[in-house]
Chain A
Amino acid sequence: MKPTDASSTGRLSRRDFFKGLGTTAVAAAAAQAESVAQELQKLNAEKVLGPGPVPVTLKVNGKTHRLELEPRVTLLDALRNHLGLTGPKEGCDRAACGACTVWLDGVAIYACQKLAIDAQGHEITTVEGLTPDGRLTPVQQAFVERDALQCGYCTPGFVMSVSALLRKKPKPTVDDVLHACAGNVCRCGTHPRVLEAALIAAGVRPVSMTRTEVISHV
């Protein structure tokens, strides 16, 4: 891997980067993450960065983090291995299992199939950031009540998918939940319980929904 080289091809050194941000933005960085992100985007635009580590600013669970990452680092890698947020899990690393599901500006995405550098300027939310005080959300509470997990590896991803759905559609149908969670897979087979938990959290459990009906849907 080549070291970061500021001299040629318009690549930025760390110093240039902070110079470029402008003193106002740097001073108010924590409070004004958005303007920092905007400036950063303008500054980074049309410049060739990397392949060595470059400054990357991520806003995760309301906090702004400045990292030095190679452009090839995925958002999942940045969250888990650089920011210590291990809620998002690595399953397939190929956009196929949902264990890594986080929110980008409030909608569910696979953190494994997004570059960290490409997530700049957006609000990232991991399962750790769903509640500020570490208490359980109604969705998480319903997962506990319905025992909607076994090993738990897929659970943060499911919680993020279900919670994203309920933000968009507070009273979902069974089909809505299945559609929203189709991109999350559970090797322990908790899908029917997850469906129940989602409906309970939304307060829409249909009376006619027996367990058999639930399973036949999945």
Chain B
Amino acid sequence: MKPFEYATALTVESARQLAGANGHYLAGGNDLLGRLKDDITEASRLVNIKAIPGLNRIEPGPQTWRIGALVTIAQIEDHPEIRRVFPGLHQAAAEVGSQQIRNVATLGGNLAQHSRCWYYRHRDIQCLKKRGRICYALEGDNRYHALFTGNVCISPVVSNLAIALTALDATAVVWRDGQERRMTMAELYELAWDNPTAHHSLRPGDLLLRVEIPTVRPRSAYLQISDKHSFDWALVSCAAAARIENGRIHNARIALGCVSPVPHQVTAANQFLEGKNLDEATADQVADLLLAGAQPQEHNAYKIPMARALIRRTLLQLRG
């Protein structure tokens, strides 16, 4: 790592000021230190945000739960009430990396992590996402890349928690320009749809404070398929959340991960589910709607049948 300055912020505002133009917030450091070691990211200063009070709390509520940006993924995984109220979030947390990573990695860092595209992560490659001229994945090895994109970059969003939180329709609360700003999960990532250099919609200096999760969907599930059985990124992931009454599904939301620069949702798929019986035929129709218009690259067409299988399994898991 190149030398950098270091400061510990005690308030949200001082974090922002200390970070200045070329400083980076340091939470668990799993993503940031990896990028600094490989010269993917330049930092003149790291601002440790872990001493800012109030951001490491899990606050249950009858209508809404608040989970602070500094809560670790292990805390989410191990929280017995989260397991009961938001099982999909529990499952997504349990699949992140390894125990050692989950013990330090934070919710905020997981949502704000950068692309895992191997060209982006290569110290000698200056691709479009690093403000170079071309995307190397389009002509190169794109087995882990996206089926959808709104720009040229086909690097998908890989945060497990983003997918589970999208299905649960969580709101991200961000500190921007001296005030709290609320974003849907779609808004938290929409910039990455249009802009090849973006990983999410956060601007330099924006600080994620917490996510707020409504309790209106008591059933939720998250499943992923990876190359390796454990300690591996998802090839495709799927999360769904809903309320089930008399065997019928209501208020459903379903999202796919690792197939688009944003958590992949299709409004028509969510609407189609309203009032349906959860069976394989319904799941297949949802898969048609979610995967319509997919544009596989040379090496990633396998993601389409994989996504279909995951959509079916995840939806059927909602039946309990």
Seen from chain A, the residues whose Cβ lies within 8 Å of a Cβ on chain B are 1-2, 41, 44-52, 54, 70-72, 74, 93-95, 98, 101, 104, 107-110, 113-115, 117-118, 161, 164-165, 178-184
Contact = CB atoms under 8 A, between A and B. Distances in A.
Contacts of B37: 93-94
B3 A108 contact: no
B98 A44 contact: no
A163 B101 CA distance: 17
Contact residues of B: prevailing secondary structure: mixed
B30 interface: yes
Contacts of B103: 104, 107-109
Nearest to A2: B3
A71 to B, nearest CB: 4
Nearest to B15: A46
Nearest to B231: A182
B4 A98 contact: no
B2 interface: yes
B99 A180 contact: yes
B149 interface: no
Contacts of A179: 94, 99, 230
Contacts of B94: 179
Interface of B: 1-10, 14, 18, 26, 29-30, 33-34, 36-37, 45-46, 48, 50-51, 74, 94, 97-101, 103-104, 230-231
A46 to B, nearest CB: 6
Nearest to A108: B100
Contact of B29 (A1, A48, A113): A113
Given A94-B37, A182-B99, A49 B29 contact: no
Contacts of A1: 3
B165 to A, nearest CB: 22
A51 B2 CA distance: 9
Contact of B230 (A49, A70, A93, A182): A182
Nearest to B34: A94
Nearest to B72: A107
Contacts of A118: 26, 29, 48, 50
A161 B100 contact: yes
B100 A98 contact: yes
Contact of B99 (A52, A72, A183): A183
A115 B29 contact: yes
Contacts of A181: 99
A93 B101 CA distance: 13
A182 B98 contact: yes
Given A94-B34, A95-B30, A182-B231, A48 B100 contact: no
Contacts of A101: 100
A115 B289 CA distance: 46
Contact of B5 (A50, A107, A114, A180): A50
A72 B4 contact: yes
B34 A113 contact: yes
